[in-house]
Copies of this chain bind each other. A is one copy, B any other.
Amino acid sequence: MVYFITGNQNKLKEVQAIISGVEGIEMDLPEIQSLDPQEIITEKLKEAVKEKEGSYFVEDTALYLDCLNGFPGPLIKWFLDRLGNKGIYDLVSNYENHNVVVKAVVGYSNGQDIHFFVGEVKGSIVAPRGESDFGFDPIFLPDGHDKTFAEMSSEEKNKISHRQQALMKFKEFLDKHG
């Protein structure tokens, strides 16, 4: 059994739609400060394995704004908490460069090694459009598209999203080695 450590039911559903047989588990793990998702994930998986033997994976999302030299990265959660989508859009509007990279990193531990699977989408920050359960989706316009992630259907979004890319790579790995 592979456990997905998360407290986010939306993410759990998204994962279970791709990788069958995954169970969700809530664990109170330290989320360390870093601009590198792999560092944050490594600390979490180490703690998880210490608490209870097993195979676990976690996912972390980062948003790198060109105009802020890559900030906030994995600290996006707090940035969004304080500014909201409108506030982030207003901030970015003050700069010429509205480019952004969103990144999902899945980290998997079988108790011995840690493997990482990365998905990445380039785009730009736009005024909020569409409703969404996922944080910054209303202000993220992927390059080559005219809808924000929040305006797309799940099917449309899943074809290109950072999280889906990372999860598909992870699924391939599990199919081969799991």
Q: A58 → chain B, closest Cβ, in Å?
A: 14
Contact between A35 and B78 (Cβ–Cβ < 8 Å)?
yes
The A interface, classified by DSSP as helix, strand, loop or mixed, is: mixed
> Which residue in chain B gives the minimum CB-CB distance to A74?
B33
Binary CB contact string for chain A from 26 to 66 against chain B (1 if under 8 A, 0 otherwise): 00001111010000000100000000000000000000000
Q: A89 → chain B, closest Cβ, in Å?
A: 13
Q: From known contacts A43-B30, A87-B69, infer whether A35 and B94 are also in contact, taking CB-CB under 8 Å.
A: no
A82 within 8 A of B: yes
Which positions in A face B, CB cutoff 8 Å? Answer: 30-33, 35, 43, 68-73, 75, 77-79, 81-83, 87, 91, 94
